[in-house]
Amino acid sequence: MRIENPDSISKSPDGRPIADQPIWREQFPIDWPTDDFRSRRDFTKLLGLTSLAFVVGQIWIAFLAIRRRAAGPLPALQVASREEIPVGGSKVFDYPRAGATCVLTRIAADRFVAYGQKCTHLSCPVIPKPAENCLQCPCHDGVFDLATGHPLSGPPRRPLPRLQLEVRDEGVFAVGVEEGIL
């Protein structure tokens, strides 16, 4: 007898309806149509497609890197004039494109540092703390060294992307990115 409704072919030994049955009867049904079989072939297909997606992703990353290299060096951008920022002061700007927020800090009379502002943990903006000689991320209390950008404590494991700076007569210029992708 072919019965289309799976509930009606599942007759439990005590004869009560499916709603009164323990949950494992639903999770491990005897009836083939209600069982969620995962065959070895399905699993292999899933593995194959996932690795294919990874391969495509790697090719895409390589393509982006080649395109960036072909575009040549990043343009210089004047961030601030030399006297605009006091020692211990900082300024937020966008480099190399709008939306890629960076923060410039004057840590000494003749020393400037600039980093991408996205925390390498979960992309919260980091806040320079020149008094403690660090950059702090308020989200999970990640701390980066203000002089190098390397993580000191908290969840981040990768350094902040560091900007190459040039101090010219007319001001402080960002001329490139040292590591990471902004």
Partner 1 sequence: MAVPESNEFFVDPGRCIGCNACVQACSECDTHKGYSMIQLDILDRSSSPQTIPVICMHCDSPTCAEVCPADAIKRTADGVVQSARKPRCIACNNCVLACPFGVPKMNTGMHLMMKCDMCYDRTSVGKKPMCASVCPSQALFYGTREQIEKLRPSSRPVHEFRFGMQEITTKVHLMVPRRSPLVALDVGAALRLAPAGDISGGEDPLLSGMAEGTFS
Binding residues for partner 1, rule: CB under 8 A, are: 1-4, 6, 9, 11-13, 28, 30-33, 35, 40
The answer to whether 135 and 115 are in contact (CB under 8 A) is: yes
Looking at the Cβ atoms of 45 and 111, the one nearer to partner 1 is 45
Query: What tokens were used for 111?
Result: 């020393």
Provide, rounded to whole angstroms, the least separation between the CB of residue 118 and partner 1. Answer: 47
Q: Which residue in the block uniquely carries the two structure tokens 């009379």? A: 109
The answer to whether 89 and 81 are in contact (CB under 8 A) is: no
Looking at the Cβ atoms of 27 and 97, the one nearer to partner 1 is 27
Provide, rounded to whole angstroms, the least separation between the CB of residue 24 and partner 1. Answer: 10
Looking at the Cβ atoms of 15 and 73, the one nearer to partner 1 is 15
Of 95, 101, 104, the residue nearest 172 (C-alpha) = 104
Query: What tokens were used for 32?
Result: 């083939």
Looking at the Cβ atoms of 12 and 123, the one nearer to partner 1 is 12
Provide, rounded to whole angstroms, the least separation between the CB of residue 22 and partner 1. Answer: 13
- Other beta carbons within 10 angstroms of residue 89's beta carbon come to 13
